[in-house]
Amino acid sequence: MSLVETVPSGIPGLDELLRGGLPKGRAILVSGGPGTGKSILAAQFIYNGASQYGVPGIIVSLEEPEKTIKENLGNFGWDLDKLIDENLLAVIDAAPIQRSTDAGDRIYEITGESHPILGERSFNIENLVSVIHEKRRELSATRIVVDSITNLTLQHKDLFQLRQDVLTLVRSLKATGVTSLLTAESLNVHEMGRYGLEPFIAEGVILLYMLRQGNTKIRALEIMKMRGINHSMDAAFFKITENGIVLYPEEKVFKEDMRGIIW
């Protein structure tokens, strides 16, 4: 039994591992190497919330443009345009673009729609948070995904400022009571986020692995921590099917399997 109120992810097998669902109103890190399925899992949480439970959600992309996201997720039969028309979903294209000023300086800007007052917004954490919460209030969204916070590293040369920005983002999400998933890329199995700082900011950590068994690559998911949730401590296999991610909690991953991790 969970010690806190939970929200269902709707992802087959994941809620079973979580003993009910994700902790409501908290920020959860989804970390893994390239190709492990981080973006799909996070988007599926938003899509399921809107399509199955009628809960508005937002996908904040710091990597892919909205058109590409719709095309990629459309391969699972997910009609994002329908949910957008019903005010159950918004996709914020916040991928920073670089341009040069007249003085020759390089700056980053948010590529989404121009603000009616501010115009084009430079890419900094305050403006990013402002864009997110404008759309959250518009939709009354209670689920938010930020994919991926690794891209915030484009803005900073020092770890301290990067940590402060991630902390500002997480605190702003928690203050509004939304349940949020933040994806981050890891370089190896011992790392939970490329700079080793994300696990200390998020209240839950889900790790995704790619395993090699012979000539075959398979995927596994492990819940490293989830405050207030009496979650399973076992890693479980999962597949990316034509309908999205499906986990198989009964198919355990053992230590000998973990030796075949690739990133």
Mean pLDDT of 11-21: 96
- Per residue in 118-168, pLDDT tens? 345 667 888 889 999 999 999 999 999 999 888 877 666 677 888 888 889
Mean pLDDT of 13-19: 95
Q: pLDDT value at position 110?
A: 60
Backbone angles phi, psi at 109, to 5 degrees: -130, 155
Beta-bridge partner residues of 210: 219, 262
Distance CA 137, CA 154 (A): 28
pLDDT grade for 99, boundaries at 50, 70 and 90: low
pLDDT grade for 263, boundaries at 50, 70 and 90: very low
Q: pLDDT value at position 238?
A: 96
Of the given ranges (10-14, 24-28, 99-103, 167-171), which has the lowest mean pLDDT? 99-103
Beta-bridge partner residues of 235: 253
User: Is 200 within 8 Å of 182 (Cβ atoms)?
Assistant: no
In 3D space, the residue among 98, 86, 44, 78 whose CA is nearest the CA of residue 208 turns out to be 44
Mean pLDDT of the chain, nearest integer: 84
Give the N- to C-terminal CA distance of the chain in Å, as an integer: 34
- Per residue in 176-215, pLDDT tens? 999 999 999 885 555 555 556 566 677 899 999 988 777 8
Q: pLDDT value at position 148?
A: 87
pLDDT over 90 (residue 111): no
pLDDT over 90 (residue 61): yes
Match domain 6-262 to its CATH number in 1.10.940.10, 3.30.43.10, 3.90.1150.10, 3.40.50.300.
Answer: 3.40.50.300
Distance CA 214, CA 257 (A): 11
Q: pLDDT value at position 191?
A: 53
pLDDT over 70 (residue 23): yes
**What secondary structure, in 3-state letters, does the chain show?**
CCCCCEECCCCCCHHHHCCCCEECCCEEEEEECCCCCHHHHHHHHHHHHHHHHCCCEEEEECCCCHHHHHHHHHCCCCCHHHHHHCCCEEEEECCEEEEECCCCCEEEEECCCCECCCECCECCHHHHHHHHHHHHHHHCCCEEEEECHHHHHHHCCCHHHHHHHHHHHHHHHHHCCCEEEEEEECCCCCCCCCCCCHHHCCCEEEEEEEEEECCEEEEEEEEEEECCCCCCCCEEEEEEECCEEEEEEEEEECHHHHCCEEC
Backbone angles phi, psi at 133, to 5 degrees: -80, -25
Mean pLDDT of 165-176: 92
Structure-block tokens of residue 124? 């900094």
Mean pLDDT of 75-83: 97
